[in-house]
Structure 1
């Protein structure tokens, strides 16, 4: 019977320590040099074992600091009713998801005026080249990057209103913002696919190439059948649980 490769043996040892809590969330893994001495292995064996744990989402590397055990708590994304108007507290769906998982939500954003390409124009039912507000987000939970999103809104709806700039206006969250200008969102559509992570997503989400995969959600909000916002949301597999609850009529 062939012998198990040394890097798989080491990965098994470290994985067991993580899953049993001997290496708890936030704990720093021994360095490659320390692993070489502890297990009498080569640097390449230590490197491959750590790479495997990264690909499994168990550990994360921090530039200039080392490799740490990842917090294994997944965020639960409740798609049905996630923007219900009677929900107390924050109107940000991401902030609600993070807080329910007892994690601290933060996000980065970049908003700018743009024009709709053919794909976005089709999703928003507007002409290609029509002016839109484009906002790129990176969401973090306890400082860990956990979601990317790019949204587009027709400036024909929001231009010169208090909510034209999504993160610098009088409300947070698409539903709350549109309510403020009397555009009442009454439904949304989501299309869910998965694919390998793109290079920029690997970097932004601190994923382990080449095996990293992501969920991609194309979400569009409607008001009386008219698209008022569309977004492409990228979620790392293994960090999210997606929950859909749909009423049956």
Structure 2
């Protein structure tokens, strides 16, 4: 039997440690340097072992904040950490889009309201299925503003996110993203694409990507089955709390100057 690579066996050791509860959920694993010393491995080996645990959604690694345990057992759901614009953009890289169709569309009043776009505006509509580790995790409708001048061929063979490909080809970069999340039921068409039961619970995320001018140039409308996706959010206190003075009237409070 071929000898197992050291980073694989180290990942297995760390996985067992996590499953035993040696580190609590939310707790930090040892640093790469500490792992190297404790297990007598190179920095490259330690980093590769941690990458396996990260791919299994057992840990989350953040520069300057360490490696945090987020689960004891590997989940079949795709986990999207949220902490800023970069992490939102990372989803489009990790969950690859398999394009099924494309067409030029003019938004109806109903579609415009759902997407947060002007009614009767013109877009390139790209339909497809997102996959992670080869498995389908969502159905996505992407809308690229007609003013960009893009065609579906710009994206068919690209390994970049749609917004990254637009920046490379047309020089329009993402400056901000707004997002709306809704709980809904799976339509028959989406259910067929994902091989799930119609009417199953889904999480619908609509993201609007804006350029520095404030103009929205890409919108994505993604429908995830409830058991195939999870958001992982972390909040941190920033700044200093200011004392409040409370008026004699209920419900009124003001920062103390």
With normalisation by structure 2, the TM-score equals: 0.53
- 2:175 corresponds to which residue? 186
Q: 1:194 to 1:170 in 2, by over 3 A?
A: closer
**For residues 207 and 125 of structure 1, what CA distance do their matches in structure 2 show?**
30
Match of 2:94 among 93, 96, 105: 96
Q: Is the 8 A contact 1:111 1:166 kept in 2?
A: no
Unaligned runs of 5+ residues in structure 1 are: 1-70, 86-90, 98-104
How much does 1:171 deviate? 6.9
Match of 1:112?
103
Query: In the alignment, what sits opposite 1:198?
Result: 187
How far off its partner does 1:174 sit?
A: 3.1
User: Could you list the per-position Cα deviations for residues 85-109 of structure 1 after superposition, in whole angstroms to 9, with x for gaps in the alignment?
Assistant: 9xxxxx8634425xxxxxxx56233
Deviation at 1:145, TM superposition (A): 1.9
Q: Which residue is 1:208 aligned to?
A: 197
Query: 1:208 Cα deviation (Å)?
Result: 3.2
Indicate yes or no: 2:202 matched with 1:219. no
Change (3 A) 1:196 1:188: same
* Equivalent in the alignment of 1:75: 78
| TM-superposition CA deviations, 1:22-72 (whole Å, max 9, x none) | xxxxxxxxxxxxxxxxxxxxxxxxxxxxxxxxxxxxxxxxxxxxxxxxx94
Partner of 1:4: none
Is 1:152 the counterpart of 2:155? The answer is: no
Superposed displacement of residue 155, structure 1? 0.9
Q: C-alpha displacement at 1:206, in angstroms?
A: 1.5
Q: Distance in 2 between matches of 1:111 and 1:246?
A: 38
Secondary structure of 2:171 counterpart: coil
Counterparts of 1:1-249 in structure 2, within 5 Å, are 72-81=75-84, 83=86, 93-96=91-94, 107-121=98-112, 123=115, 125-128=117-120, 130-156=121-147, 158-159=148-149, 165-168=153-156, 172-180=160-168, 181-209=170-198, 212-224=200-212, 225-245=214-234
Q: Which residue of structure 1 aligns with residue 55 of structure 2?
A: none
CA–CA distance in 2 between the matches of 1:209 and 1:125?
28
Tell me the CA shift for residue 138 of structure 1: 0.7
Larger RCO of the pair (alpha carbons < 8 Å, separation 6+) = 1
Specify the SS of the correspondent of 2:227.
Answer: coil
Question: What is the total number of aligned residue pairs between the two structures?
Answer: 162
Deviation at 1:164, TM superposition (A): 6.2
What residue number does 1:66 align with? none
How much does 1:134 deviate? 0.3
Distance 1:117 1:79, change over 3 A: farther
Question: How far apart are residue 209 of structure 1 and its match?
Answer: 4.7
| Cα distance in structure 2, aligned partners of 1:142 and 1:169 | 18
